[in-house]
Amino acid sequence: MKFLSVVGTRPNFMKLAPIARALAGRPDVRHVIVHTGQHYDLTMSDAFFEDLELSEPDYHLAVGSGSHAAQTAAVLARLEPILESEQPDVVLVYGDVNSTVAAALAAAKMNIRVAHIEAGLRSRDRTMPEELNRLVTDQLSDLLYAPSLDAANNLRGEGIPANRIRFVGNVMIDSLTQMLPRAHAEDVTARYGLTNAEYVVVTLHRPANVDDATNLSEVVRALEKISRDRAVLFPVHPRTRRRLGELEIKPNGGGDLRLLDPLGYTEMLSLVSKSSLVITDSGGLQEETTYLGIPCLTVRPNTERPVTCSRGTNRLVPAEQDVIVDSARRTLARKRAARPAIELWDGHAAERIARDLCEYASTFSGSGTHQATV
């Protein structure tokens, strides 16, 4: 059986790692890895392959930065000849980035089966590029691996046949549980000169927050205020770094707001797991903080991960200085709630996916491309 995984961005690598590990344990499986190069900086890509102990990708498409159309088109054009020569039984795509939708489309057009890992998440906000990527990828996929019950229900609600939907749990949590002992062993607080774990971690990269001058400035001003009470550690995404420069937004000082380079996975996990609050607009961090029981404020009007709000530690806040500061202060003053348990966020999602994929592919492997799905 041959499976081909396509990844391109930082959050894809954490989802690939446990799948690669689970498939590596199967002697009858060849697993080919294609890196689209959507993320290409050392800190955004290579450091993650090393940290997550991922083997070098078999192919690198080097698509780099560009508009959505240019990036998606480059993946489509460069992936097609690889699919042609590799002839995988199933193409595996991850999450909701431009590389995901492009790879799903390239494979589906060649009648190669597609499996979507992290299927069914919906923000119902079509101004988000990721929501469009999710909708299209799920329509094109033959196997839809849902991380949560709400995601599986969304797919059913959209009329996707039940025999294509598998509720398997969350592969991000697989990576987290695998790396947590190493993250705990790293003394990050000392590295940042912090004597205790009373600090806030921030990440921000969504276009709606960082490409909008008012929103970005509101959030930075809020972080300055919060940093007068607690150290605020802010590893800055390249997109955000560029926008801060272009818009000439500089922290005014007075507090302890630290703009850092993007961090590796283990170091980030270590920082987050010992923090008192996370402020973010990332999808993955909403899940990771929920699993760890760390309070999280998500600077977005909606989330495709509602379970992190209904059961977890997450709360949505607008990009408004006063609301963010007030919510942060109130959250920090509150006693921390017990760590919630979410169904199948247990560190074994990738094993379930690998088992299911192999069972599925064993029914047709070697018989060529398919005419009808499942």
Nearest 5°: phi and psi at 202?
Answer: -130, 140
Could you say whether residue 264 binds ligand UD1 (CB under 6 A)? no
DSSP letter for 163, please. G
Distance CA 361, CA 356 (A): 9
Of 205, 237, 348, 370, which residue is the catalytic one? 205
Q: How far is the CB of 133 from ligand UD1 (least distance, A)?
A: 6
Distances (CA, A) of 287 to 24, 92, 189, 220, 244: 26, 22, 22, 23, 27
Q: How far is the CB of 280 from ligand UD1 (least distance, A)?
A: 11
Q: Are 96 and 133 in contact (CB under 8 A)?
A: yes
Q: Which is nearer to ligand UD1, 10 or 116 (CB)?
A: 10
Could you say whether residue 11 binds ligand UD1 (CB under 6 A)? yes
Q: Which is nearer to ligand UD1, 41 or 53 (CB)?
A: 41
Q: Are 26 and 182 in contact (CB under 8 A)?
A: no
Known catalytic residue: 205?
yes
Q: Which is nearer to ligand UD1, 96 or 142 (CB)?
A: 96
Locate all alpha helices (DSSP H) within the chain, ordered by sequence.
10-24, 47-51, 68-86, 98-109, 129-140, 149-157, 171-185, 188-191, 207-210, 213-226, 238-246, 265-273, 283-292, 307-310, 321-333, 349-362
Query: Exactly one of 205, 243, 300, 352 binds ligand UD1 (CB under 6 A); which one?
Result: 205
What is the rounded radius of gyration, in angstroms, for the C-alpha atoms of the chain?
A: 20
Q: How far is the CB of 254 from ligand UD1 (least distance, A)?
A: 29
Q: Which is nearer to ligand UD1, 224 or 267 (CB)?
A: 267
Query: Exactly one of 24, 41, 84, 213 binds ligand UD1 (CB under 6 A); which one?
Result: 41
Could you say whether residue 60 binds ligand UD1 (CB under 6 A)? no
Cα-Cα-Cα-Cα torsion 47, 49, 55, 61, nearest 10 degrees, comes to -100
Query: Exactly one of 26, 60, 86, 129 binds ligand UD1 (CB under 6 A); which one?
Result: 129
Could you say whether residue 39 binds ligand UD1 (CB under 6 A)? yes
Could you say whether residue 225 binds ligand UD1 (CB under 6 A)? no
Query: Exactly one of 76, 80, 229, 238 binds ligand UD1 (CB under 6 A); which one?
Result: 238
Nearest Cα neighbor of 146 from 194, 186, 95, 73 is: 95
Q: How far is the CB of 63 from ligand UD1 (least distance, A)?
A: 9
Q: How far is the CB of 225 from ligand UD1 (least distance, A)?
A: 26
Q: Which is nearer to ligand UD1, 21 or 39 (CB)?
A: 39
Residue 2, strand partner residues = 30
- Contact region with ligand UD1 (CB under 6 A), list: 41-49, 317-325, 326-334, 350-358: 41-49
End-to-end CA distance of the chain: 17
Query: How many chain residues touch ligand UD1 (CB under 6 A)?
Result: 19
Nearest Cα neighbor of 292 from 231, 345, 223 is: 345
DSSP symbols for 35-79? E--SS-SIIIIIHHHHHTTPPPPSEE----S--HHHHHHHHHHHH
Could you say whether residue 38 binds ligand UD1 (CB under 6 A)? yes
User: Known catalytic residues?
Assistant: 205
Positions that interact with ligand UD1 (CB under 6 A): 9-11, 38-41, 44-45, 65, 96-98, 129-130, 205, 237-239
